[in-house]
Amino acid sequence: MKRASPVGDRVGGREGCFEAQQPAVYKFAEPRREATVSAEDALIADMTCRAESFEKPIWEGEFFPNISSIKYEGPSSRNPLAYRWYNAEEVILGKKMKDWLRFSVAFWHSFRGDGGDPFGSPTRVWPWEDGSDSLEMAKIRMRANFEFIKKLGVEYWCFHDRDIAPEGASLQESNQNLDAIIALAKKLQEGTNIRPLWGTAQLFKHPRYMHGAATSPDVKVYAYAAAQVKKAMEVTHELGGENYVFWGGREGYQSLLNTDLKKELDHMGTFFKAAAAYKKKIGFQGTLLLEPKPQEPTKHQYDWDAATSISFLQKYDLLGEYKLNIECNHATLAGHSCFHELEVARINGVLGNIDANTGDSQTGWDTDQFLTNVEEATLVMLTVIKNGGLAPGGFNFDAKLRRESIDVEDLFIAHILGMDSLARGLINAAKLYTDGTLSDLVSNRYASFDSTVGADIESGMVDFDTLEKYAFGWGEPTITSGKQGELSKKNVESPIAGTCRNDFAFVYLNSSPFSLGKRCRNFESDRNAGLVV
Ligand code: XUL
Ligand code: CO
């Protein structure tokens, strides 16, 4: 396995953009002052990494030469580079696994992620990286992306305009850079089924967006953001993308004292109206998706959660034009579970896509981890089944390798784990769904509304005077049990999750691994006997 070179060991003795640890200076049009940002932020903004020529030769040949196509080997396989649960062609509830799941690779995490976190420098450099943000380097990365997607055996990828192509000295130059990369991506897609699940514009890294994009107080920034979205939507369409995402990375406030809340929300509504109109103008059939997130980077983001986003869409008459892209780690940051957010989106008819990841209960920020908790995956898949699938949406792995994972092989292993966990969740959820216990429990709880009175109430025909008469006549209601205990028992009986760790079998109960005290080989035979899934 070829190891990614550690940061200090950059190509040809050069330290690439990491040597440019000087504060970067951005010039704004007069009469603005020059703004200085820290070296660390400058790295994040990719603005100092502009070195065009490095001594490293242009990467040729395979990017992952020691890894062949990932195959399904079944649950008993111990091969970390094989699927144990994801069997693309297997039919579950009338649909192939690959059609339930529609997995997508996120370009930014897999090919631009470097292990940097708010407290530390990058920890990994993929072997083909030359340390620059040049157009040539962007082309190499795109080739690596396609080899990865093909070897993983998925059909979708997601991108931001600026993570696939470098920002130029002007908007026109940025557009040209993007065109060059899109032409290459289109060529690489030829003869394959690979398409973008969605594209999006990066409206949060560059300093021009520090006060927001559609919600910036500066009309020039609003226009710049619109132009960037226009172009990003065009290229998504050009590549046959199936959705277009809006994540409001700076659409929020840091202080209400300097913010006109109503104006900013009105501007955002106007922006989204114009985007929907432009979609129609260019004949793009993809779904437009808002991605809720409560905070980070701003302290309050306007698309706080699913309910807030739905009320925004309703207020600005945009329901029907937009759906939601629910991200599990964003759900937990908002104080919800992913299941909650998905159900809120589903019952309102706006569940469009899932950014598949998870957070860490002991870390406070958006850690974007691969979702490997099978109980969480089962609940996610329960909603997806009830929704009849996600198409044209799917599961985008908006998830990154841990800072400590620095081998290219880790990129495969992380995706395989994420895919296997959701596949396993699908199998479990299908069992819970078809076995009917859950739906019977729910319908029994509401059975009293099946009465004539209940039906009249539901259709809005009963006023308070009439209800008072019923209440006087019926007296004190007899309350029945919610059967939550039974639900937990149910989870244990047809375990929502089972796994093998250090050769010992575990089931997950309320997200905590619960040891079965059995060796995996017994666990496997129990699984075959249908005792665990
Ligand atoms: C940020 C996030 C984004 C969006 C796309 O938290 O999730 O990567 O998915 O802009
Ligand atoms: Co996301």
389 CA distance to ligand 2 middle (Å): 19
292 CA distance to ligand 2 middle (Å): 9
Please tell me the predicted confidence (pLDDT) of residue 393.
98
277 pLDDT exceeds 80?
A: yes
Q: Which atom of ligand 1 is nearest to the CA of 202?
A: 10
What is the rounded distance in angstroms from the CA atom of residue 194 to the CA atom of residue 395? 14
Q: Which atom of ligand 1 is nearest to the CA of 247?
A: 10
Options 109, 160, 336, 340, the catalytic residue: 160
Please tell me the predicted confidence (pLDDT) of residue 439.
85
Please tell me the predicted confidence (pLDDT) of residue 206.
98
Q: Comparing 42-56, 132-146, 319-333, 351-365, which segment has the lowest mean pLDDT?
A: 42-56
- The residue ranking higher by pLDDT, 37 or 92, is 92
160 CA distance to ligand 1 middle (Å): 9
Instruction: State pTM to two decimals.
Output: 0.84
| Nearest residue by C-alpha to atom 4 in ligand 1 | 247
Please tell me the predicted confidence (pLDDT) of residue 438.
80
Please tell me the predicted confidence (pLDDT) of residue 428.
92
What is the rounded distance in angstroms from the CA atom of residue 441 to the CA atom of residue 504? 34
Helix H or strand E encompassing 382: helix 374-386
Kindly indicate the confidence band of residue 25, based on its pLDDT and cuts at 50, 70 and 90: very low
Q: Comparing 23-32, 296-305, 348-357, 443-452, which segment has the lowest mean pLDDT?
A: 23-32
Q: Is the CB of 293 under 6 A from ligand 1?
A: yes
Q: Is the CB of 366 under 6 A from ligand 1?
A: yes
Residue ranges covered by each domain of the chain:
11-60, 96-434
328 CA distance to ligand 2 middle (Å): 9
Cβ–Cβ contacts within 10 Å for residue 53, how many? Answer: 9
Give CA 512 to chain center in angstroms.
Answer: 24
What is the rounded distance in angstroms from the CA atom of residue 199 to the CA atom of residue 229? 10
Please tell me the predicted confidence (pLDDT) of residue 7.
36
366 near 296, Cβ under 8 Å? yes
Please tell me the predicted confidence (pLDDT) of residue 110.
98
Q: Comparing 126-130, 320-324, 526-530, which segment has the lowest mean pLDDT?
A: 526-530
Please name the fold of domain 96-434: TIM Barrel (3.20.20)
What is the rounded distance in angstroms from the CA atom of residue 480 to the CA atom of residue 473? 19
278 CA distance to ligand 1 middle (Å): 22
What burial class does residue 459 get, using C-beta atoms within 10 Å of its C-beta: 0-12 exposed, 13-18 middle, 19+ buried?
Answer: exposed
8 pLDDT exceeds 80?
A: no
DSSP for 253-281, please give it: ES-GGG--HHHHHHHHHHHHHHHHHHHHH
| Nearest residue by C-alpha to atom 2 in ligand 1 | 247
Of the residues 229, 327, 357, 400, which should be mutated to test ligand 1's pocket, given the most ligand atoms within 8 Å of the CB?
Answer: 327
5-19 burial string, b = 16+ CB within 10 Å, else e?
Answer: bebeebbeebebbbe
* 160 classed as catalytic: yes
Please tell me the predicted confidence (pLDDT) of residue 13.
31
- The residue ranking higher by pLDDT, 200 or 484, is 200
Please tell me the predicted confidence (pLDDT) of residue 67.
98
Residue 214 amino acid letter: A
Q: Is the CB of 357 under 6 A from ligand 1?
A: no
Helix H or strand E encompassing 408: helix 408-435
The ligand minimizing its distance to the Cα of 333 is: 1
Of the residues 157, 293, 396, which should be mutated to test ligand 1's pocket, given the most ligand atoms within 8 Å of the CB?
Answer: 293
The ligand minimizing its distance to the Cα of 109 is: 1
502 CA distance to ligand 1 middle (Å): 34
Q: Is the CB of 245 under 6 A from ligand 1?
A: yes
Please tell me the predicted confidence (pLDDT) of residue 489.
52
Q: Is the CB of 376 under 6 A from ligand 1?
A: no
Please tell me the predicted confidence (pLDDT) of residue 445.
93
Q: Is the CB of 291 under 6 A from ligand 1?
A: yes
**Which value, in Å, is the radius of gyration of the alpha carbons in the chain?**
25
Kindly indicate the confidence band of residue 96, based on its pLDDT and cuts at 50, 70 and 90: very high
188 CA distance to ligand 1 middle (Å): 25
The ligand minimizing its distance to the Cα of 243 is: 1
Q: Is the CB of 499 under 6 A from ligand 1?
A: no
Kindly indicate the confidence band of residue 77, based on its pLDDT and cuts at 50, 70 and 90: very high
Residue 293 in tokens: 């997130």
